[in-house]
Structure 1
Amino acid sequence: MSNTKIQDPVFRRFYSHLNSAVTILQLYDGRIPFAHFVKNYFSQHKKFGSKDRRQISELCYCYFRLGRSYPQLATGQKIVKGYWLSKASWPDEWLAFFDSFHLPKESPDHIFPAVHSFSAGINNDAFTRSHLIQPDLFLRVRPGHKGAVTDKLKTADIPFVLTDDSLRLSNSVRVEDLVRLNQEVVVQDLSSQRVAKLLQLYQTVNKNEMVPLVWDCCAASGGKSILANDILQQMELTVSDIRPTILFNLKKRFQEARVKNYRAFVGDATSANPGRLFDLIIADVPCSGSGTWARTPEQLLYFEPGSIDAFVKLQSSITANIIQYLKPGGYLLYITCSVFEKENEGQVNLLQNKGLQLVEQLVLKGYKQKADTMFAALMKAPM
């Protein structure tokens, strides 16, 4: 790099951030989510301002986004290559700056592990290259709040795209300062919102005129339960999760979302007994999370493909238990945020072998919309 470039304040600041990112990456071993690790790092090193923290974190994520590509590059060079590829175009002075690092011209070729194990219909190249860019922030506008929410965003001069009830915004927007989370909007990825199609299908095909009994058996933060509440309007809800702290947080979220008619219990979905039969069971099961790795790109480096089988075993154990609690003719909504066939169509095949009928399944491809990629299937129990 020339002395002129070093003296330029923009490049001098970038080079300082680059050195900090290299230091952080050398300390990170993948055992905890990188977001937690880097937050802890900055809490111990108070010298970094908020803008510095954002830029340094972005550079680290640019390194992860390349996966196992460019093994010949030093850490700093790989960061710069990832940063270069994170945008479609750059000013000439930045291109000259990148050239000073003597980076390879070829495209990354080992971004995503196990690319030959994808669900049907996923474009390998488009999906893997989508990891070079950070996904957008998506909000689902809850019924009756569209006008108020869009007015607040316009007043704050926040750019957004509204499609039906889905809002797309920049990840830099602090939405909690602008709208009432959970009451007016729910933070929910675009593909997760599109699971609504199968809930609407359930509403159409379900012939039971009684208020449906619904069990969200891996409830986590309750996003799918709130979605079901907004679509079905009336339901008697049961939620469970193996983690007590999750259910504590879910209770607060339900209060904000004004979801009242529910009961909750701590339970392992592989063995939980909810004590009744249900018209609909929602199983957003633990999975590899591979459809969301553009948000957590450290997984591109640290995920072990062999662990897919462990997730498959867990998913099979969960579904084997919960289908016992479907009413005759009841419905199972099976969901993953995985792109791997074993966790998706493979599990549907196992459920079909146990007598369930496939109503519809969706590979929710978000990689062309800067969103997650997911899988969902609606299945019906025998009468």
Structure 2
Amino acid sequence: MINGLPYSFFKNCSGILLDYDGKTPFHLYLKKCFNAHKNWGSKDRKRYRDACYIYWRFALPRTNLDHSNIIQWLKNHYPIPQLQISNPYEPYETVLSGGIDTAALQKWYTTEPNIWIRINNGHEKTVKGYLEATAIRTIESKKKSLALPSQSNLNELIENGFAYIQDISSQLAMNFDNTLLQDAFYKGAAVWDCCSGSGGKSITLALNNEGIDLICSDIRQSILDNLLTRFTLLKIKPPAMFCTDLSIRTEDFDSVDIAIADLPCSGSGTWRRNPENIHFFDPKQIVVFAKQQILIVQNILPNIKSGGYLVYLTCSLFKEENEMNVAQLIEKFGLLFIDSCIVGGQSMGGDYLYRAILQKRLV
């Protein structure tokens, strides 16, 4: 027995970790592993999950590892991990966006994130009552946004439209108070969420700015179907929607006042939620994403009115995807720089997002 656990536990953990290839999210891979081992009870599954995520968060990105190395590491670090001597973000220190330091990233990365929910308008008492009845502790509260423990069962709240799940940083990124844009979301303003995904940011926009004419697009029809379901559950007026690949063509429709482009990126600002990703990340992908982002924005710009705004968003930590790309867009297309910032991160208990506000010159 090691730390009260049999050797077979550490051996099984090592097998789970070594067999994982990084091609699918680890939590989905882990479900398949559990389905293949029906004899593992709920306590076993929790231990395996905890041990694997401790490895992803605290072990250095793997190089030439084998069973014996992983087993020994887990013996030393499970269930109480010790910080690694080196910081996994040190190799990226010179390519990080301004205002981000590796010490803060290490603390952020090695802490399991909470679940953030936004309470739907008019359902504050219902949500509070549910959390009290189910003994789910509220860790932090910011107006209508609540941070809850990561394994909380919130199905009843979500399925009945009382609240929706969205990281606090994504919520804050859609708050334009005290920016030049705060008056641009007037009633009837045409706002295009160009890469909407399943609609979290669009929902927040709709709740924050009643009366805007919202348009959503994404490359995947299935994700737009999910977006429509979420709007319906929350009883919010559905946006206009269309499926398109903005990396290959420009859409032909009436120009919009504001385009919000949450662009495909490395996702490095969300690695705390999927800590396995840093172990498999190829730095060469940074330039690939940066070029794709420029191409997508190039195809968005013709649909923004003269004097209209582009909100450039990534969930990346890397300056090549962030401020360097913004500088390139300003130079190439003559855009006006309004503002930029890192949203969220360690201090806010959320992902790291980069947001820049640019304006098309009046013609």
Contact 1:221 1:249 in 2 (8 A): yes
Match of 1:241 among 205, 218, 221: 218
Q: Specify the alignment match of 1:63 in structure 2.
A: 55
Please report how far the alpha carbon of residue 116 of structure 1 lies from its aligned counterpart in structure 2 after TM superposition: 1.9
Q: Specify the alignment match of 1:355 in structure 2.
A: 334
Give the alignment's TM-score, normalised by structure 2: 0.90
- CA RMSD in angstroms comes to 2.4
Corresponding position: 1:164 with 2:156: no
Contact 2:95 2:319 in 1 (8 A): yes
Match of 2:169 among 170, 191, 209: 191
Corresponding position: 1:78 with 2:56: no
Q: Specify the alignment match of 1:255 in structure 2.
A: 232
Contact 2:309 2:359 in 1 (8 A): yes
Q: Specify the alignment match of 2:85 in structure 1.
A: 108
Deviations, residues 204-262 of structure 1 (Å, cap 9, x unaligned): 342x8650111111111101110110111111121111112211222211211223242
The alignment partner of 2:51 has SS state of helix
Deviations, residues 133-157 of structure 1 (Å, cap 9, x unaligned): 2111111223332233123212322
The alignment partner of 2:5 has SS state of helix
Please report how far the alpha carbon of residue 301 of structure 1 lies from its aligned counterpart in structure 2 after TM superposition: 0.7
Contact 1:364 1:373 in 2 (8 A): yes
Q: Specify the alignment match of 1:90 in structure 2.
A: none
In structure 1, C-alpha distance between the alignment counterparts of 2:171 and 2:179, rounded to whole Å: 14
In structure 2, what residue type is equivalent to 1:266? C
In structure 2, C-alpha distance between the alignment counterparts of 1:364 and 1:210, rounded to whole Å: 26
In structure 2, C-alpha distance between the alignment counterparts of 1:378 and 1:182, rounded to whole Å: 35
Match of 1:22 among 3, 14, 18: 14
In structure 2, C-alpha distance between the alignment counterparts of 1:197 and 1:328, rounded to whole Å: 23
Contact 1:285 1:334 in 2 (8 A): yes
Match of 2:5 among 3, 9, 12: 12
Please report how far the alpha carbon of residue 110 of structure 1 lies from its aligned counterpart in structure 2 after TM superposition: 4.0
In structure 1, what residue type is equivalent to 2:57? R
Q: For the structure 1 residues 214 and 248, does the alpha-carbon distance in structure 2 shift closer, same or farther, using more than 3 Å as the test?
A: same
Contact 1:131 1:293 in 2 (8 A): yes
In structure 1, C-alpha distance between the alignment counterparts of 2:62 and 2:282, rounded to whole Å: 19
Contact 1:338 1:344 in 2 (8 A): yes
In structure 1, C-alpha distance between the alignment counterparts of 2:110 and 2:45, rounded to whole Å: 20
- Comparing 46-55 with 303-312, which one deviates more in the overlay? 46-55
Please report how far the alpha carbon of residue 280 of structure 1 lies from its aligned counterpart in structure 2 after TM superposition: 0.9
Q: Specify the alignment match of 2:296 in structure 1.
A: 318
Instruction: Report the count of equivalent residues.
Output: 355
Please report how far the alpha carbon of residue 368 of structure 1 lies from its aligned counterpart in structure 2 after TM superposition: 3.5
Match of 2:41 among 46, 49, 71: 49
Contact 1:212 1:236 in 2 (8 A): yes
Contact 1:236 1:261 in 2 (8 A): no
Corresponding position: 1:289 with 2:267: yes
Q: Specify the alignment match of 2:130 in structure 1.
A: 152
In structure 2, what residue type is equivalent to 1:192? S
Seq. identity, %: 32
Q: For the structure 1 residues 292 and 80, does the alpha-carbon distance in structure 2 shift closer, same or farther, using more than 3 Å as the test?
A: farther
In structure 1, C-alpha distance between the alignment counterparts of 2:142 and 2:75, rounded to whole Å: 35
Where in structure 2 are the equivalents of 1:187-226 lying within 5 Å? 187-198=165-176, 201=179, 204-206=182-184, 211-226=188-203
- Comparing 321-330 with 30-39, which one deviates more in the overlay? 30-39
In structure 1, what residue type is equivalent to 2:14? V
The alignment partner of 1:168 has SS state of strand
In structure 2, what residue type is equivalent to 1:78? W
Q: Specify the alignment match of 1:93 in structure 2.
A: none
In structure 1, what residue type is equivalent to 2:200? G
In structure 1, C-alpha distance between the alignment counterparts of 2:172 and 2:341, rounded to whole Å: 9
Please report how far the alpha carbon of residue 181 of structure 1 lies from its aligned counterpart in structure 2 after TM superposition: 4.8
Deviations, residues 66-109 of structure 1 (Å, cap 9, x unaligned): 353686881023234554565xxxxxxxxxxxxxxxxxx88431
Contact 2:169 2:348 in 1 (8 A): no
Please report how far the alpha carbon of residue 369 of structure 1 lies from its aligned counterpart in structure 2 after TM superposition: 4.2
In structure 2, what residue type is equivalent to 1:219? S
**For structure 1, which runs of at least 5 residues remain unmatched after alignment?**
87-104
In structure 2, C-alpha distance between the alignment counterparts of 1:80 and 1:272, rounded to whole Å: 55
Give the alignment's TM-score, normalised by structure 1: 0.85
Contact 2:215 2:239 in 1 (8 A): yes
In structure 2, C-alpha distance between the alignment counterparts of 1:261 and 1:69, rounded to whole Å: 43
Please report how far the alpha carbon of residue 302 of structure 1 lies from its aligned counterpart in structure 2 after TM superposition: 0.3
In structure 2, C-alpha distance between the alignment counterparts of 1:255 and 1:184, rounded to whole Å: 12
Deviations, residues 340-379 of structure 1 (Å, cap 9, x unaligned): 1111111221222222222221202422444211111222
In structure 2, what residue type is equivalent to 1:17? F
Contact 1:134 1:370 in 2 (8 A): no
Deviations, residues 138-195 of structure 1 (Å, cap 9, x unaligned): 1122333223312321232221032212201101111113x23582222111111111
In structure 2, C-alpha distance between the alignment counterparts of 1:23 and 1:380, rounded to whole Å: 52
